[in-house]
Structure 1
Amino acid sequence: MLTFDAGHGPMVLLTNSHKSADLMSVDSIASASAKPGLSTPIKVPSDPFEGLKSTYIPLAGVAQIGSQDSDFFGALRRNDETGAMELVSIRKVAFLRLSDFVNEYDFADFKYGPHDPWIGIHHLLRTDEGYPDLAARAKP
């Protein structure tokens, strides 16, 4: 569990080595704790989930995470393909590394549209991860 503030108020990031991480605001935790607790089991999937809502973050395999600086987390995680442990930096505003995913934006013939909302963040993340050729294609 890690607490931090990335400009939207204090947040809690709860990581797990076997599933996606959960991101919650401290305000939502305080609000949920003021409500009465659950008195009957939650019926999944027929009834909606009850209790504290969180945002799922694609950070599976994390063994340890900490704040590296004001912009990055430092994470020790297990590589899904090789099983090796690796130390990586993850930008706090993105909560992911582009190199962990294969998507249409990486195809050689892909062209960004004139108002593509991802172009700026792709440029930033590709620059962070050391892919200048891909970053140049996504220059805002």
Structure 2
Amino acid sequence: MKSGDPRTWMWTRALEALNEAERLHKQFFHLGRSPSRRPVWEPPVDIFEGDGALHIVVALPGVTLDRLKVVSEGTSLLISGDLPVPWEGRIGALHRMEIPHGRFERRIEGLPPGLQATRHALCDGCLFLSFRKPEHP
């Protein structure tokens, strides 16, 4: 086939897209280890600040508040919980499993000391946390 053949070009682009999707999946939903040495997955996090506040957004699709724990430990924050598999107890063949399930933990370290929590909400599959930064004289 010639290099200008649309079938070759389309196939190459499709493979590139699949490789990029796999790379992003591994980057954002990778396995880690908890202090208890049990395997966990780590949800992706966005952290930004503005208006004297620090905002943290954690992607937790499918997680409910009763399965979520947030603990402040000095200048770090530990977000943990578990996401059960939705098909538990059902019989059938599993063809693909890309959505992380089971125990998750995400530790965010190096936060400014003296943060005061002002908002927390679980909405649209994301945990939103806001902290007021201490005012310095």
TM-score class, shorter-chain normalisation, is under 0.3
Q: TM-score, normalised by structure 1?
A: 0.26
Structure of greater relative contact order (alpha carbons < 8 Å, 6+ residues apart): 2
Structure with greater strand share of residues: 2
Q: TM-score, normalised by structure 2?
A: 0.26
Bigger-Rg structure (1/2): 2
